[in-house]
């Protein structure tokens, strides 16, 4: 019997990509809503409760409203908004972090997909804090470079407008008030004592993300070299299909450059450790539309269904 899937919010960037990934899935039955009824509350409620699993690709407030529509206790929810990422009743959809995280996804009824910036940030810090290398009160700073698709349909239209302003040609820093919506989950999931200093940057390319975090080695416990950190991360993620820790010095293969769009169209995540015996930079490379959004949502679906974790994904 096929699993019935409904995508609430299928016209947005993430919803459209999730639908695209279903095209060759023979194990799923996709429940569709008529275009004229996309905002009809009763029709949405009917389809949510008729599904086995519903994806929510909605703004936060609308996602909470959709969850309140669930009357069928067997319905499972995968939410791509920020609404439930720090809610203890919801599983956080990052299975590579630990067996506990993966098990909660496999057995859960309510899954919250991580934010794109948060995905890169957490992939770098979580192992260090878990292993006691990074103190929870470390004054963490981070920057994150993203393609403009991360801003949704409106930003895509702005960047692809033939008459756009010249300022769109250059990278642009945003969330200058240090109130980015991913900060809460960055702190909550990693266990940091306070939110990091975070500088997101949008650039003139469609998709791909580069999240970097610098560290002073003498402020990390028991660490004497960047190679030590690379080996620790390699060991931590050694059995994970979706996370690749690159060899130390691998950036030389790219002539010393790391590009934000290098993983566009790919659903995994690569980690680089660069630097010297005094200072290092950890960098996570992935697609903001892949491991940073729809790819992660499909990975969670696969775990819930008990099929191959990479089913329908590009690795």
User: 280: which strand partners?
Assistant: 215, 275
Q: How many CA atoms lie within 13 A of 209 on its CB side?
A: 28
Which residues partner with 92 through β-bridges?
A: 112
User: How many Å apart are CA 243 and CA 109, to the nearest integer?
Assistant: 25
* Alpha-carbon span 198 to 280, nearest angstrom: 17
Query: From the candidates 57, 116, 263, 300, which is the catalytic residue?
Result: 116
According to DSSP H, which parts of 2-134 are helical? 13-21, 41-50, 60-68, 99-107, 116-130
Does the annotation mark 307 as catalytic?
no
The 10 Å Cβ neighbour count of residue 159 is: 19
Alpha-carbon span 3 to 134, nearest angstrom:
42
Work out the number of other CB atoms within 10 angstroms of the CB of residue 241: 15
Distance, in Å, from the CA atom of 315 to the CA atom of 300, rounded to the nearest integer, reads 15
Structure-block tokens of residue 228:
């030590």
Tally Cβ neighbours within 10 Å of residue 65: 16
Return all residues near 227 (Cβ < 8 A) that are at least 6 apart.
248, 273
Instruction: List active site positions.
Output: 116
């Amino acid at each position: 019997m096929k699993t019935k899937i409904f995508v609430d919010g299928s016209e947005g960037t993430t919803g459209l990509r999730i639908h695209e990934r279903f095209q060759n899935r023979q194990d799923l039955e996709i429940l569709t809503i008529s275009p004229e009824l996309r905002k009809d509350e009763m029709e949405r409620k009917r389809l949510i409760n008729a599904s086995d699993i519903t994806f929510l690709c909605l703004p936060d407030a609308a996602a909470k409203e959709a969850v309140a529509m669930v009357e069928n206790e067997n319905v499972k929810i995968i939410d791509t908004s920020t609404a439930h990422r720090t809610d203890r009743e919801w599983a956080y959809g990052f299975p590579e972090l630990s067996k506990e995280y993966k098990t909660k996804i496999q057995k859960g009824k309510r899954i919250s997909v991580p934010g794109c910036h948060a995905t890169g940030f957490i992939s770098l810090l979580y192992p260090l804090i878990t292993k006691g290398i990074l103190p929870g009160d470390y004054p963490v700073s981070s920057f994150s470079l993203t393609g403009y698709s991360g801003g949704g349909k409106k930003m895509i239209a702005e960047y692809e407008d033939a008459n756009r302003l010249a300022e769109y040609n250059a990278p642009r820093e945003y969330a200058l008030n240090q109130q980015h919506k991913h900060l809460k989950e960055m702190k909550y999931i990693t266990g940091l004592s306070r939110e990091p200093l975070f500088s997101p940057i949008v650039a003139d390319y469609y998709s791909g993300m580069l999240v970097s975090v610098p560290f002073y080695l003498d402020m990390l416990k028991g660490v004497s070299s960047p190679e030590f950190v690379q080996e620790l991360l390699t060991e931590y993620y050694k059995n994970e299909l979706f996370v690749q820790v690159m060899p130390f010095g691998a950036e030389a293969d790219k002539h010393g450059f790391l590009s934000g769009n290098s993983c566009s169209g790919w659903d995994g995540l690569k980690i680089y450790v660069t630097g010297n015996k005094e200072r290092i930079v950890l960098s996570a490379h992935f697609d903001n539309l892949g491991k940073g959004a729809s790819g992660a949502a499909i990975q969670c679906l696969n775990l819930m269904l008990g099929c191959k974790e990479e089913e329908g994904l590009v690795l």
